[in-house]
Structure 1
Amino acid sequence: MTTETRGSDFARLARRITDAGLLDRRPVYYAVRLSLATIVFLGGWALFLWVGDSWWQMAVAVLLAVVFTQFGFLAHDLGHRQVFRTRRPSEIAGRLVGNLGVGLGWGWWTDKHNRHHANPNHEDHDPDVSPAVIVWSTEQVERSRGLPRFVAKYQAFWFFPLLTLEAWHLHVASFKSLLKPSMRNRGLEAILLLAHCAWYFGLVFTVLPFGKALLFLVIHQGVFGVYLGCTFAPNHKGMPILTGDDKLDFLRKQVLTSRNVHGGWFTDIALGQLNYQIEHHLFPHMPAPNLRRAQPIVEQYCAELRVDYLATGLVDSYGQALRHLHEVGAALRRPPAERASLP
């Protein structure tokens, strides 16, 4: 993977993208999208109130999990300043959608996500491939201890069940981030997160009896976590893992560690248009609806440079990610005598 290349390759691609007008803001698109998302969000909770004390609320929980994830996509776009050009309106809208709306710390998540964009799939710098529970490389397996080492043995089978806990993990991490002195606007972030908890848990436990309320929370947050995970997993999981020895220019670092997912309008909506992951990583400020138009330009340019450009179907993308996870844990499935070299 160690390769030295010319940094000007990206500059030439950027000129093509700029000349095509694909970095221009899309205010009408985002005004409509934000309005529709807000209407559906409020409508979902109005449906919750209308259904009342009923087992049908479990179906409402699934619906609201989808709505929460779509709100998460909007928070993501706001974090990249795809909606507004300046910081202040982006932060105001991002915290309202993220902290108050879905209970995820927008400031913390944006900082983490930007570090991921700077060094995707890099063992030392990308927080999304840190071995918290899942391990992503054979080197991480060798260094793993405790729960990650236990899970790694059959982590391909654990992957989707663990995603049911992902939303809870993000909620907890959002509150934990408030303890860091380096966190900007901690007071505001805390107030909005607490306000989310107040209206969210207040509604659920006021309308539903305790048992149904707990089941609603399990289903809602579980589906929310799985949907989020199923959106982000196809993008980088199973792609090359970089280390300190890998020297790639910006274009190759982004393209070679990312995977696009084929699909029509339904796939675009379901995945928040993050199925154009290569284009998104090359141009994170590009408005989401422009990614589809940028895709053929980027693919053709990569072909000219002979840079591998991977695009596949949704199901196959999951297969590639799961096969990679299974291969990473292969050493731990060997007989003890064959594992003697592992620490």
Structure 2
Amino acid sequence: MTTDNLVHPAPPGASTDYARLSRRIGEAGLLARRPGYYAARVTLVAALFSTGWVAFALLGASWWQLAVAVFQAVMFGQIALLSHDLAHRQVFRTRRPSEIAGRIAGNLGIGMSYGWWMDKHTRHHANPNHEELDPDVDPDILVWSKGQARASRGLPRFIGRYQAFLFFPLLTLEGLNLHWSGIRAVRKPGLKRRGLEAALLFTHFAVYLGALLIVLTPLQALVFFAVHQGLWGVYMGSIFAPNHKGMPTLTGKPELDFLRKQVLTSRNVRGNRFVDVALGGLNYQVEHHLFPSMPSPHLRRAQPIVEAYCAEKGIPYTQTGLFDSYRQALRHLHEASAPIREDSRSGHR
């Protein structure tokens, strides 16, 4: 499904379809909390993260530190995935402990504003792939539809011509973009607990940059920073790119009920336990969007229930392999930017 827009009105009775599916999921016990699982996961990730920095301190000014940079890029991604689960209250039922743990993991742990990201991600879940309402398809750097391509100006128009080829290279800057977005968020009024968010963010930056400059030579510090932040950005982009990119986009006020809006704009990625861990369960994107507070280890079990129910209702359910999901996303980026290339060939600006 690679069409630009999706304007299929919901059939009669569609308003109750999600309620019926939700009952099936609830009866299967898949909405229950998993405190033991998350206690073990948090402990393991924290231990590995700490071990990485202990190795960093022991290695000293050595080029073997690049191996630590690669390892910590993966750990930053795993901490970001834990922050994601905390934001959706998959770990704690109530808001306060979720926010405390989320700020420790996000702001202090990896330098990503928990409050900024939660606001952005909540708006994405409410209107996935909606060109006017989903911040994840804003045409700030890339264009996601032919309509956005025709209206593009400046940097998106310049990059858009070859955006499919530049997509993964640009992901090397995603880690820096997450840092900068957090800094911008705490500089503006409106962010909840803005002072606390700012203090935790800048503590992270001070400790991180200070450690690099104290332990490594200036050149080693620069290379470590580039490798670590670049690979973290690629990892983050590789987690989220398969989920919606290349799926139909929405505009205006489409007549879609909740179930169809979430299923038709999301894509699942088939895989094994390794894929589940690497993508944090977000390879079950359809199920996650339908039940965002469902603990991530339950998503695998929910998948066949949701797929069977969609088949009953005649709702297209998209699932593909990991590499094919990237291929579809890149093909969509290339197709979406076609108007820019056409204008270039015809001499229009």
Measure, in 1, the Cα distance between the counterparts of 2:323 and 2:10.
34
Asked whether the equivalents of residues 123 and 241 of structure 1 are also in contact (C-alpha less than 8 Å), the reply is yes
Residue 150 of structure 1 aligns with an amino acid whose one-letter code is F
The match for 2:293 among 280, 285, 299 is 285
Measure, in 1, the Cα distance between the counterparts of 2:258 and 2:247.
16
Tell me the equivalent position of 2:181.
Answer: 173
Aligned pairs for 1:194-205 within 5 A: 194-205=202-213
Tell me the CA shift for residue 332 of structure 1. 2.2
Q: Name which of structure 1's ranges 173-182 and 110-119 shifts more when overlaid on structure 2.
A: 173-182
* Residues 338 and 289 of structure 1, relative CA distance in 2, 3 Å threshold: same
TM-superposition CA deviations, 1:62-104 (whole Å, max 9, x none):
1100011000000000000000000111011000000000000
Tell me the CA shift for residue 329 of structure 1. 1.2
Q: How many residues align?
A: 341
Asked whether the equivalents of residues 150 and 340 of structure 2 are also in contact (C-alpha less than 8 Å), the reply is no
Q: Name which of structure 1's ranges 172-181 and 329-338 shifts more when overlaid on structure 2.
A: 329-338
Tell me the CA shift for residue 201 of structure 1. 0.8
TM-superposition CA deviations, 1:305-338 (whole Å, max 9, x none):
0100000000000000000000111222236564
Q: Supply the RMSD in Å over aligned alpha carbons.
A: 1.1
Aligned pairs for 1:98-137 within 5 A: 98-137=106-145
Tell me the equivalent position of 2:10.
Answer: 4
- 1:246 paired with 2:246, answer no
- 1:301 paired with 2:309, answer yes
Tell me the CA shift for residue 180 of structure 1. 2.4
The match for 1:63 among 64, 68, 71 is 71
TM normalised by structure 1 equals: 0.97
**5+ residue gaps, structure 1:** none
Q: Name which of structure 1's ranges 100-109 and 239-248 shifts more when overlaid on structure 2.
A: 239-248
Residue 28 of structure 1 aligns with an amino acid whose one-letter code is G
Residue 129 of structure 1 aligns with an amino acid whose one-letter code is V
Tell me the equivalent position of 2:3.
Answer: none
Measure, in 1, the Cα distance between the counterparts of 2:253 and 2:145.
15
- 1:32 paired with 2:40, answer yes
Measure, in 1, the Cα distance between the counterparts of 2:96 and 2:297.
23
Measure, in 1, the Cα distance between the counterparts of 2:133 and 2:85.
22
- 1:51 paired with 2:59, answer yes
Tell me the equivalent position of 1:17.
Answer: 25
* Residues 237 and 75 of structure 1, relative CA distance in 2, 3 Å threshold: same
Asked whether the equivalents of residues 150 and 339 of structure 2 are also in contact (C-alpha less than 8 Å), the reply is no
* Residues 198 and 298 of structure 1, relative CA distance in 2, 3 Å threshold: same
The match for 2:324 among 294, 316, 327 is 316
Measure, in 2, the Cα distance between the counterparts of 1:68 and 1:207.
20
Tell me the equivalent position of 1:80.
Answer: 88
Measure, in 2, the Cα distance between the counterparts of 1:196 and 1:335.
45
Measure, in 1, the Cα distance between the counterparts of 2:102 and 2:342.
47
Measure, in 2, the Cα distance between the counterparts of 1:30 and 1:337.
54
Residue 171 of structure 1 aligns with an amino acid whose one-letter code is H
Moved over 6 A (4+): none
- 1:221 paired with 2:218, answer no
Measure, in 2, the Cα distance between the counterparts of 1:168 and 1:325.
22
What is the percentage of aligned positions where both structures have the same residue?
A: 60
Tell me the equivalent position of 1:235.
Answer: 243
TM normalised by structure 2 equals: 0.96
- 1:141 paired with 2:152, answer no
Residue 175 of structure 2 aligns with an amino acid whose one-letter code is A
Tell me the equivalent position of 1:42.
Answer: 50
